[in-house]
Amino acid sequence: MADEVVKFKVTIDGIPVEVEPGTTILNAARKIGGDIVPPAMCYYSKLEGSGGKCRTCLVKVTKGSDKDPRPMPKLVASCRTTVMDGMEVQNITSPEVVEARKGVVEILLINHPLDCPICDQAGECKLQDLGYEHGAQNTRYEFERRTFDPISLGDKIQLHMNRCILCYRCVYVANQLTGEREHGVLYRGDHSEISTYIEKALDKDFIGNVIDVCPVGALTDKTFRFKNRVWFTKPVNAHRDCPTCSGKVTLWYKGEEVLRVTARKDEYGEVEDFICDTCRFEKKNTSDWVLEAPTQVDKESVIGANHYLQFNPPSVIKENKKLQAANAEQLQRTEPLK
Amino acid sequence: MQSLTNRKKVIEQKPMNIWERMYLPAIAKGLSITLRHFFKKNNTIQYPEEVRPYSKNFRGRHSLKRDEQGRERCTACGLCALSCPAEAITMVAAERKKGEEHLYREEKYAAVYEINMLRCIFCGLCEEACPKEAIYLDGPHVTAEYVRKDFIYGKDKLLEPRFDITKLNEKE
């Protein structure tokens, strides 16, 4: 006899949803989607054990469950708290949560250098979005921020420790995807930093995924470093027959040139499939790939500026052979002036 | 037809009399007006030599600014190009090498920075978008050129000349 699947009914900001037991509040909210999804800087659904570090996903539980309807005494991290039957959660409807999140953003930004004009992540940075949506306009921090020199982790990955918010995602990637982890978090508390001992180069396959999972610009692609701004490049979905990974990627074009290859990301900035380093760093020709379609970009994203949904948008000035023939003499005369 | 307003004036046309038909008095009257203008204040000025006072918020040619140590402020973030409604601005970024700290303020700088003055509409949005206070439309008018390609201003034309702020008072 098949057991009937037990489903818990949760209400998030007044919207009911039925989820399986063991689901976290964050994932229940993602099932509903829209504005009520708490932002997450450290939680990554594809990485086991991630979450619970950044505290941006704080929510208020106003009713614990049907059996025990007392509210939870403090705000809870929704990425780590599992749902109970009849739970009622407030996210954006609770002023307390909004206020707390503002504080969390302020603390995340305490040591963040705010060098967005230089940073390659600007335009697709989660911390930028978070600061824009939930943060205060000015900083109240008057002390010196901690600074580090940029470190090259091999010839493909650049580490800017200044920008790191210690979400541990890259550590989990190295643990769970690559054979051996060579980097980690050194020191404790305020002194913590991501590093490798003796600045050892990271050269395991799949290590390039640390670039994609990094929510800020701490780990960036060295082959794309300062090449262009994200919003001037055009993302196109493509795939190739790769022996080690799924081969499904996004190519970032500037004109005819592929500037960068990343994994495909969903609306929460999480990759669909991790891609291998060969696809990411070595296949930068259109001939290596089978193009599918331009990537759908969120309409509020800056990347959507001048984003065309067809491959070869019509040129602004049409080439008119008849007109050129008629004006051949004038065009000839202007030729030496060019 | 009856007019909608009563502002209509019917002009009577009568044949000219002898005084009018002589023409000479009319010519003398016209010439006297011309003569009177010789002694009036001139309304025009000799432009390049004389310049009229400009409004404080006049937007002219762009200039790329330097900081107090004479380093280029621009960090090639591309926000001016993004905000430009006429798509007149292009740039190529480069990384600052060791030993170039006295030339560029940030670790990234614009190796090539071009503004197409034919496209530019002098709206000043680039000025507003700039997070580094690196571009201002505080120059004179863009002058005429013979060839279209000369209107593409590079860093050679846009970049502010170096000056030492500590010697500002010595000159005067």
A200 pLDDT tier (thresholds 50, 70, 90): low
Q: Is B68 annotated as a binding residue?
A: no
Between B62 and A257, whose confidence is greater? Answer: B62
What predicted TM-score, i.e. pTM, was given to this entire model? Answer: 0.80
Between A105 and B9, whose confidence is greater? Answer: A105
Contact call for residues A245 and A281 (beta carbons, < 8 A): no
Question: DSSP H helical segments within chain A, as ranges?
Answer: 25-32, 95-108, 126-134, 169-176, 209-213, 277, 321-326, 328-334
Mean pLDDT, residues A170-174: 84
CA distance B107 to B48: 41
List the structure tokens of A246: 């799924």
By Cβ distance, the residue of A226, A231, A232 closest to B108 is A226
CA distance A9 to A32: 12
Interface probe, candidates B91, B108, B116, B119, chain A, greatest A C-beta count within 10 A: B108
Mean pLDDT, residues A288-298: 88
Least confident of A131-140, A215-224, A327-336, B155-164: A327-336
A319 pLDDT tier (thresholds 50, 70, 90): confident
Decide if A117 and B107 are in contact by the 8 Å CB cutoff.
no
A34 pLDDT tier (thresholds 50, 70, 90): confident
**What's the pLDDT at A294?**
87
The average confidence (pLDDT) of chain A is 86
**Nearest 5°: phi and psi at A220?**
-125, 160
Other CB atoms within 10 A of residue A238 CB:
23
Give residue A39's region: left, alpha or beta (phi > 0; psi -120 to 50).
Answer: beta
Q: Where are the domains of chain B?
A: 63-171
Contacts of A56 (CB under 8 A, 6+ apart): A38, A39, A40, A41, A101, A104, A105, A108, A130, A134
Decide if B82 and A229 are in contact by the 8 Å CB cutoff.
yes
Contacts of B78 (CB under 8 A, 6+ apart): A228, A229, A231, A232, B91, B93
B76 chain-A contacts, CB cut-off 8 A: 226
Chain B nearest-CA distance from A319, in A, is 20
Contacts of A47 (CB under 8 A, 6+ apart): A169, A172, A173, A176, A213
Contact call for residues A80 and A4 (beta carbons, < 8 A): no
**What's the pLDDT at B91?**
92
Contact call for residues A312 and A303 (beta carbons, < 8 A): no
**What's the pLDDT at B11?**
82
Decide if B108 and A337 are in contact by the 8 Å CB cutoff.
no
A337 pLDDT tier (thresholds 50, 70, 90): low
- For A71-99, write each residue's pLDDT tens digit: 999 999 999 999 999 999 999 999 999 99
Quick one: DSSP state of residue B142?
Answer: P
Decide if A226 and B82 are in contact by the 8 Å CB cutoff.
no
By Cβ distance, the residue of A118, A227, A337 closest to B77 is A118
Interface probe, candidates B107, B109, B132, B133, chain A, greatest A C-beta count within 10 A: B107
What residues of chain A have any CB closer than 8 angstroms to a CB in chain B? 115-118, 122, 150, 225-229, 231-232, 302, 305, 337-338
Mean pLDDT, residues B145-152: 88
Percent of chain A's residues with pLDDT above 70: 93
User: What domains are defined for chain A?
Assistant: 8-108 (3.10.20.740), 110-226 (3.30.70.20), 227-329 (no CATH)
Q: Which residues pair with A77 in a beta bridge?
A: A58
**What's the pLDDT at A3?**
61
**What's the pLDDT at A202?**
67
Mean pLDDT, residues B48-61: 90
Burial-class residue A310 by CB neighbours within 10 Å (0-12, 13-18, 19+): exposed
- Write the DSSP string, A57-99: TEEEEEE--SS--PPPSS-EETTTPBP-TTEEEESTT-HHHHH
Which whole-number Å values give the CA distances from B25 to A72, B17, B20, B22, B37, in the listed order? 104, 13, 8, 7, 19
- For A105-129, write each residue's pLDDT tens digit: 999 998 898 889 999 998 889 899 8
CA distance A86 to B40: 91
Contact call for residues B111 and B93 (beta carbons, < 8 A): yes
Decide if B146 and A227 are in contact by the 8 Å CB cutoff.
no
Q: At what angle do helices A126-134 and A95-108 cross, to 10 degrees?
A: 130
Q: Which residue of A has its CA nearest to B83?
A: A305
Between A301 and B83, whose confidence is greater? Answer: B83
A198 pLDDT tier (thresholds 50, 70, 90): very low
Mean pLDDT, residues A51-68: 91
Between B138 and A5, whose confidence is greater? Answer: B138
- For B87-135, write each residue's pLDDT tens digit: 899 999 999 988 888 999 988 999 999 999 999 999 999 999 999 999 9
**What's the pLDDT at A318?**
73
* Fold exhibited by the domain B63-171: Alpha-Beta Plaits (3.30.70)
B90 chain-A contacts, CB cut-off 8 A: none
In chain A, helix, strand, coil percent, each to 5?
25, 20, 55
By Cβ distance, the residue of B75, B81, B149 closest to A118 is B75
